[in-house]
Amino acid sequence: MKPMPANQLDPRVKAVWRINDAIWITICAVAALGCAALLASLPETEEVGGLLLVGFAIVAVALYIIFLAVLPPIRFARWRYEVSPDYLDIAKGIIWRKRYTIPFIRVQNTDTRQGPILRAFHLASVTVSTAADEHEIPGLDAQTADALRDKAAEFARLAREDV
């Protein structure tokens, strides 16, 4: 069997995932709970509204537990990458485990991206695009990200633009 790629992401990415997911869950939960509370306040739909309120609250708590406590360590443990001279190797996925091999000679361009949350942790993500698909390596420390980007860009110059 092929060994797993050597590098892991920066451990701080777990915090980034948690904050990101917490924001989304909170937005959805507030919207859903608000609708349910509105229903509960009306006399005709009091009963249904109350049930929905409890139901949504349980779902929200479950989502918080799954996305903040359970998933990030597993996702972090499964996410691996390795940059070898000729290709980029990525392994990820918890249930559906995926393994990508992207020859650098096919890479059309590479970008680094840094959203507000990533920036707060001094992290960046690198996106490697081929003519067919895009692969994002989230959460590398800014220096590693730049080094990876430069390396991929160097190969990308050699790649033929005609596909």
Partner 1 sequence: MNPYTVTFETGRHYKVHKSYIWVGPLIALVVVIAAVLLNGASGWVQLILFIQEEGFRVEVLTVVLGAVGSFVLLWLVITGLYALAYKHMSYVFGPLEFSFYSGVFVKKRVHMPYEKVQSVNHRASLIQRLVGVCTVTIDSAGGSANKAVRVPYVTLQTAERMRNDLFVRKAAAAAGVPVEYIGDEAVAVGAAAPGARGGAPVPPGMPPVASAPVPGAGAPNIIDDAFQPVGDWRGLYGGAVLAEEPVTFEYSLSNKELVLASISHPGPLAAGLIVALSLLVCMGIALTQNDWFAAVLLAFGVPLALVAAIVVWALGSLGILLGYGGFKVRRRGSRIEVERGLITRNFSGIDVDRIQYVEVRQSVFRRLLRHSELSLGRIGTSSQSSSENKESAAKGLLIHPFVANGSVDALLDGLLPEFADRPARDACAKLPPKALGRNVRRRCLWFNWVLWTALICLGCWALTIYLILADDPTVDAVRAQLVFDHLVGIAVAIAVVAVVLSVAYYAVSAVLWARHSRYGWNKRYLLLHNDGLSTVLRIVPRTKIQSGITRDNPFQRRVSLTTLQAATAAGVNRTTVQLLDVPAAQGAAYLEWLE
Binding mask 12-51 for partner 1 (x = CB under 8 A): ----------------------------------------
Tokens representing 21 are: 């997911």
CB of 29 to partner 1, least distance (A): 29
Q: Torsion angle of alpha carbons 90, 141, 107, 96, nearest 10°? A: 20
Q: From CA 16, how far away is CA 117, in angstroms rounded?
A: 6
Per CB under 8 A, 115 contacts partner 1: no
Lookup result for tokens 């650098």:
104
Name the minimum Å distance from CB 92 to partner 1: 10
Contact assessment for residue 106 and residue 130, using Cβ atoms and an 8 Å cutoff: yes
- Choose the stretch contacting partner 1; rule: CB under 8 A; options: 39-47, 74-82, 123-131, 141-149: 123-131
Residue 53 CB neighbour total at 10 angstroms: 17
Which residues of the shown chain bind partner 1 in the complex (CB under 8 A)? 1-2, 84, 86-87, 89, 93, 95-103, 106, 108, 129-133, 135, 161-163
